[in-house]
Amino acid sequence: MSVQDLGDKVILTHPDDKSSTATILKYGATVFSWKLNGTEQLWLSDAAKLDGSRPVRGGIPLVFPVFGKNTTDEHLSKLPQHGLARNSTWEFLGQTKSDPPTVQFALSPDNANKELTKLWPFDFVLLLTVQLGRDYLKTDIEVQNPSTTREFKFNWLFHTYLKIEDIEGTLVSNLVGVKLYDQLLKQSYIDKHPVITISDETDCIYQNVDENRLIQVVDRGQPVHTVKRHNLPDTVVWNPWTEKAGGMADFEPKDGFLQMVCIEPGHVHDLITLAPGQSWSAYQLLYKEQLKYQAI
Ligand code: BG6
């Protein structure tokens, strides 16, 4: 069986290789494990809560309708950091394809966290499609506005925690020349570094990254992750490093930041406005690809 519903989570197994799997927690529709030929690709904290008591620290949490903390929008500013999708139990709609195994999850005000929808009282439908390919993991999102009268504004982001061996031997490529907002320095500038290396807390929003640019995570010359984006112009690069990881109760081991980097494709620099009856869709594709320096 390529899809198993275990109550609180769903496991996809690739029919051609039983050691390639994806596991999705219904809480947050969070993919918290993706194994390729038996090797885990996503970072998950040892202290991550998988019981619905808080968003999962690791895997691919979903950020909607607000990225970070909004301070200006009347309704979005009432929501906690990163919104309500990662704090809600999604409905498992079932399998839509058997090969490659593909499943769908849905969230609307009917099943979303009531405390949070009270704060952001809009009608919405989110449809997440997860597909486990032989050598890729694709997550598609569709946001619908079923209202006949009222528009809403939102951000979307896949908060992807990628597992790596050692941050000190790792670089992130193909973001040179892109304008970014550094959330720590609170400054915008153009990244002139041919590649990004991380040796301290990093929290940067790269804006309007050309869709044809693949973002690659390279470990000592070998590309270990390739991230392709559709309709997701911004990419956050985040690593909490020592102090921030130390302050997060659900971040374990405390030096776990050495084995992870978040590459987060999203639409977060500005808000998307969705008119009544309209829908918006985007995807993230994680896969293996040869080293491609598209810009140095
Ligand atoms: C990143 C943000 O997307 O998520 C960071 O850019 C934030 O500012 C990080 O610290 C983790 O957020 P949280 O709410 O999961 O601790």
252 is known as an active-site residue: no
CA nearest ligand 1 atom 14, residue: 81
Q: What is the pLDDT of residues 172-184, one digit of tens each?
A: 999 999 999 999 9
Out of 264, 267, 269, 289, the active site residue is: 264
Look at residue 148 in the predicted model and tell me its pLDDT.
98
Total domains present in the chain? 1
At 213 the pLDDT is: 96
pLDDT of residue 293: 87
181 in any annotated domain: no
223 falls within a domain: no
Asked if the structure places residue 203 within a domain, the reply is no
Domain CATH for 112: 2.70.98.10
Name the residue among 282, 188, 266 with its Cα closest to residue 233.
Answer: 266
CA dist 179 to 31, 67, 186, 205, 218, Å?
30, 18, 13, 9, 21
Q: Is 14 a catalytic residue?
A: no
Of 82, 161, 251, the one to substitute when testing ligand 1's pocket (max ligand atoms within 8 A of C-beta) is 82
* Residue 15: burial class (beta carbons within 10 Å; 0-12, 13-18, 19+): middle
Q: Which atom of ligand 1 is nearest to the CA of 240?
A: 10
Q: Is residue 174 part of a domain?
A: no
**pLDDT score at 296:** 57
Q: Strand 152-158 relative to strand 62-63: parallel, antiparallel, unpaired?
A: antiparallel
pLDDT range class, residue 294, cuts 50, 70, 90: confident
Give mean pLDDT, residues 237-246: 98
| Residue of 14, 159, 225, 267 marked catalytic | 159
Q: What residues contact residue 255 under an 8 Å CB cut-off, 6+ apart?
A: 242, 245
Q: Which domain holds residue 42?
A: 3-164+242-287
- Which residues in 213-228 are b (16+ Cβ under 10 Å) and which e? bbbbbbeeeebbbbbb
**Contact status, residue 20 vs residue 28, Cβ threshold 8 Å:** no
- Residues near ligand 1 (Cβ within 6 A): 68, 81-82, 159, 183, 203, 236, 238, 264
Tell me whether residue 228 is in a domain. no
Regarding an ipTM greater than 0.90, the answer is yes
In a domain, 79, yes or no: yes
Average pLDDT over residues 205-221: 96
Instruction: Tell me, yes or no, whether 127 lies in a domain.
Output: yes
241 Cα: distance to centroid of ligand 1 (angstroms): 12
57-98 pLDDT, tens digit each? 999 999 999 999 999 999 999 999 999 999 999 999 999 999
Ligand 1: centre distance to CA 62 (Å):
12
Copy the structure tokens of residue 244.
């921030």
Measured between alpha carbons, how far is residue 247 from residues 43, 122, 138, 250 in Å?
A: 18, 34, 32, 9
Please report, rounded to a whole number, the percentage of residues in the chain having pLDDT higher than 90: 98
- Distance from the CA of 266 to the center of ligand 1, in angstroms? 13
Distance 68 CA to ligand 1 centre (A): 7
Q: Residue 40 forms beta bridges with which residues?
A: 35
Sign of CA dihedral 173, 178, 182, 183: negative
Mean pLDDT, all residues of the chain: 97
Three-state secondary-structure class, residue 115: helix
Q: What pLDDT sits at residue 100?
A: 97
| β-pair type (170-172, 91-97) | unpaired
Q: Is residue 273 part of a domain?
A: yes
Position 1 pLDDT exceeds 90: no
Using a cut of 0.95, tell me whether the model's pTM lies above it: yes
